[in-house]
Chains A and B, each alone.
Chain A
Amino acid sequence: IAGITQAPTSQILAAGRRMTLRCTQDMRHNAMYWYRQDLGLGLRLIHYSNTAGTTGKGEVPDGYSVSRANTDDFPLTLASAVPSQTSVYFCASSDSGASGANVLTFGAGSRLTVL
């Protein structure tokens, strides 16, 4: 089934530990995104990539890094996790281009708890 796969589904992590959230898509979408979703707030963009080999910072990039070595994969790394990074993380993808809807397709999410 075409779509986006995220792993892990859920993780409890000690503060200070390093963690990588994995994201893989099989739709050949050029653009990929990482969002975090917190209660009472809208989705906030962490990092994005418009095409393989390029990345950009979103609204809340501090404490996170990404890479885009190929079209399909877009991992998000927390170098040293802090409790404020407790959240639900969604990976998404879309066809790139300045025109048209460019609808986002989301993964199922990764629930991360930092203690």
Chain B
Amino acid sequence: GQNIDQPTEMTATEGAIVQINCTYQTSGFNGLFWYQQHAGEAPTFLSYNVLDGLEEKGRFSSFLSRSKGYSYLLLKELQMKDSASYLCAVRDSNYQLIWGAGTKLIIKP
């Protein structure tokens, strides 16, 4: 079966750095996505990786290793507004998105 694994919850301190990991086992691979979802709101797009390596976008970076079935989202200079759930999703060989359950990130002052 297809599976996306990410930690259920993480806690970090304002101003610090946090890394959220995602491992996947899917039927084929056509890209990996990270979305942010604040409580009670819709998911919003953060990043897309299709080739190995690091994609940087401001305070957020996303890394992909296709051979290891692994990605991480790196958040720097954490702000209270970064408290949210972070969803990892992989597009499989049929171009269908497989979603992880999300990682709830709690930022403490």
Contact present for A106 and B42 (CB under 8 Å): yes
Instruction: Confirm or deny: B74 has a beta carbon within 8 angstroms of a beta carbon on chain A.
Output: no
In the complex, A101→B89 CA distance in Å?
A: 12
User: Total A-B residue pairs with C-beta atoms closer than 8 Å?
Assistant: 43
Q: On chain A, which size bracket covers the interface?
A: 10 to 19
Q: How far is the CB of B21 from chain A (nearest CB, A)?
A: 15
In the complex, A45→B91 CA distance in Å?
A: 13
Instruction: Confirm or deny: A41 has a beta carbon within 8 angstroms of a beta carbon on chain B.
Output: yes
On chain A, the residues within 8 Å of B35 by CB distance are: 104
In the complex, A78→B48 CA distance in Å?
A: 33
**A interface majority secondary structure:** loop
- A108 is contacted by which of B41, B48, B102 (Cβ under 8 Å)? B41
Contact present for A98 and B42 (CB under 8 Å): no
Kindly identify, within residues 66 to 87 of chain B, every residue whose CB is under 8 Å from any CB belonging to chain A: 87
Q: Count B-side interface residues using an 8 Å CB cutoff.
A: 22
Kindly identify, within residues 1 to 51 of chain B, every residue whose CB is under 8 Å from any CB belonging to chain A: 4, 8, 31, 33, 35, 41-45, 48, 50
Contact present for A106 and B44 (CB under 8 Å): yes
On chain B, the residues within 8 Å of A104 by CB distance are: 35, 43, 45, 97
Contact present for B4 and A42 (CB under 8 Å): yes
Contact present for A103 and B45 (CB under 8 Å): yes
On chain B, the residues within 8 Å of A109 by CB distance are: 41-42
Interface residues of B, Cβ cutoff 8 Å to A: 4, 8, 31, 33, 35, 41-45, 48, 50, 87, 89, 95-102
Interface residues of A, Cβ cutoff 8 Å to B: 40-45, 58, 90, 98, 101, 103-109
Q: What would be 18 A-B contacts, judged by CB atoms less than 8 Å apart?
A: A40-B8, A41-B101, A42-B98, A42-B101, A43-B43, A43-B97, A44-B99, A45-B97, A90-B42, A101-B50, A103-B33, A105-B45, A106-B42, A106-B43, A107-B42, A108-B41, A108-B42, A109-B42
